[in-house]
Chains A and B, each alone.
Chain A
Amino acid sequence: MPVVTYISHDGAINEIEVASGTSVMQGAVDNMIDGIVAECGGSCSCATCHCYIDEAWLDKVPPASEMEKDMLECVLEPEDNSRLSCQITVTDELDGLVVKLPASQF
């Protein structure tokens, strides 16, 4: 199973096995990782699943939809590597993915 590493704003590291086909958000929620709230359950409506993609993985993650881009422009502390984790599906190609979680979702 692909492994995704979640790094909290305080530096805590969680390496989690996430089944292919589920989202990066679901992997965090399933494992009760603080820092991803996911109020809308993954329907790209709330932006409480904001994360930062590690630079090394930026070109391997498929691009954001227009709706997601619009949402990302308004999150607290947006960065170029900002994404909504519910919109990223884990695949074998993403095995090893590293994401950082913003302080604002704790």
Chain B
Amino acid sequence: MTEACCIVVGASHAGGQLAVSLRQQGWEGRILIIGDEPFLPYNRPPLSKTFLSGEKHIEDLLIRPEAQYEKVGIEFLLGQRVKSIDRNNKTVTLNKGETFAYDKLALTTGARVRPLAIAGSELKGVLYLRDISDVEHIRQFIGKGKKAVIVGGGYIGLETAAMLRKLGLQVTVLEAAERILNRVTAPQVSEFYTRVHREEGVQLETGVEIQGFVGQDRVEGVQCGDGTVYPADLVIIGIGVIPNTELAQAAGLEVENGIKVNEFCQTSDPDITAAGDCTNHFNGFYQRNLRLESVQNAMEQARVAAATLCDKPIEYNALPWFWSDQYDIKLQIAGLSSGYDELVIRGDQNGSRKFSAFYLSKGRVIAVDAINNPQDFMFGKQIITRKLLVDKAGLSDPEISLKDFLKK
């Protein structure tokens, strides 16, 4: 009998962790990771943070060095794309035609940027930010005094704005909704980030309808519905991502805003697991289906998927969390705020750069945005998972330690 083989499609946070976890959980067979980027798994968050600014280099981004994968027998096939999966014969086929047999398959195909297909979007200098090659493109267009327009006021757009300011560019952020971070935070937190970006010299406009990009060969400006043209040497579009589910869908796996997985990260085919940004899972804590886009979710689901493939199932039940670094501000978010019915602010949101926003539903905290406030994040996480009923007056008073809430 030949040795069992597990193939992992996608070589990023989820794929790399899944392979390592397979070994840690005792998988003895072959492990082959196929990824279409030419790099070993690397940390994506610094792309809009320290990598963009040049403080970090490609080697610093790698999650693990090559030698460590070799040591535990994890093989890579990089710069190659999986074109199709044949579930009956248990094989995957690459774009170039090569076919590989698997016993177990793991899909960690992640997500790609949502394109903005409008007039002029093919002009040079109209860019996105998802991978290393995107940053390399961006670098060709940046320089002191240059004008950058960011389309989309989400976390990645805002982090990019902060970094480009630091590099001495003139930065404009254009958001279609009435406020930035519209989908993810309360109005008070949006107001805070609006103030900070303006204090840092960013021109920030909301409720903007973008009609197209103007320029000959290179982009020269962004044309808006009200007639305004914002001059631009480069444009970075950050309007969200789309999960890479086409491969799974074509193979007949269940897909619904992500590859459907159960609490063990199993797809509708028991020999195939999926993890990370490409999945849609039923979350026990929030009692609904979720598609998350975070490193923590990618890593945690990868561990769960590996355990399943090794026949040592563990259930996925981590509380989602996320972070964002902009200027001197570290934001840490625990839990998901959607569906909250009350907001409690702890600290000074209008004058300072340190406060927290607690999102409550029926008297219980379901999420916290902690701004330069790691203690509120850490204790907040525990308050959320323990589903404590909290005293709102105490919660809003920074003099009262959150630790006291946990003693009850």
Q: How large is the interface on A (under 10, 10 to 19, 20 to 34, 35 or more residues)?
A: 20 to 34
Q: A103 interface residue, CB < 8 Å from B? A: no
SS class, residues of chain A in contact with chain B: loop
A16 to B375, CA, bound (A): 32
Assess A32 versus B323: contact at CB under 8 Å? Given A45-B330, A47-B378, A67-B374: no
**Which one of B26-34, B62-70, B132-140 is at the A interface?**
B62-70
Q: Which of B251-308 contact A (CB under 8 A)?
A: 295-296, 299
- Closest CB of chain A to B406's CB: distance in Å? 10
Of A40, A45, A73, the contact of B375 (CB 8 Å cutoff)? A73
B94-123 Cβ-contact flags toward A at 8 Å (1 or 0): 000000000000000000000000000000
Question: Does A75 lie within 8 Å of B378, measured CB to CB?
Answer: yes
Q: Which residues of A contact B24 (CB under 8 A)?
A: 32, 34
User: How many residues on B have C-beta within 8 angstroms of the other chain's C-beta atoms?
Assistant: 27
Of A39, A43, A74, the contact of B378 (CB 8 Å cutoff)? A74
Question: Does B296 lie within 8 Å of A71, measured CB to CB?
Answer: no
- Closest CB of chain A to B185's CB: distance in Å? 17
A32 to B21, CA, bound (A): 9
A38 to B181, CA, bound (A): 27
Question: Does B379 lie within 8 Å of A74, measured CB to CB?
Answer: yes
Q: Which residues of A contact B323 (CB under 8 A)?
A: 40, 43, 45-46
Q: Which of A1-49 contact B (CB under 8 A)?
A: 29-32, 34, 37, 39-41, 43-47
**Chain B contact residues, CB within 8 Å of chain A:** 20, 23-24, 43, 45-46, 49, 63-65, 68, 72, 295-296, 299, 321, 323, 325, 330, 332, 372-375, 378-379, 403
Given contacts A30-B65, A71-B378, A73-B378, 18 further A-B contacts (CB under 8 A): A29-B63, A30-B68, A31-B68, A32-B20, A32-B68, A37-B299, A39-B296, A40-B295, A41-B43, A41-B45, A41-B63, A43-B323, A45-B332, A46-B323, A67-B374, A70-B374, A70-B375, A74-B374
Q: Jot down 9 A-B pairs with beta carbons below 8 A, ordered by A.
A: A32-B72, A39-B295, A40-B296, A41-B63, A67-B330, A70-B373, A70-B374, A74-B378, A74-B403
**Chain A contact residues, CB within 8 Å of chain B:** 29-32, 34, 37, 39-41, 43-47, 67, 70-71, 73-75
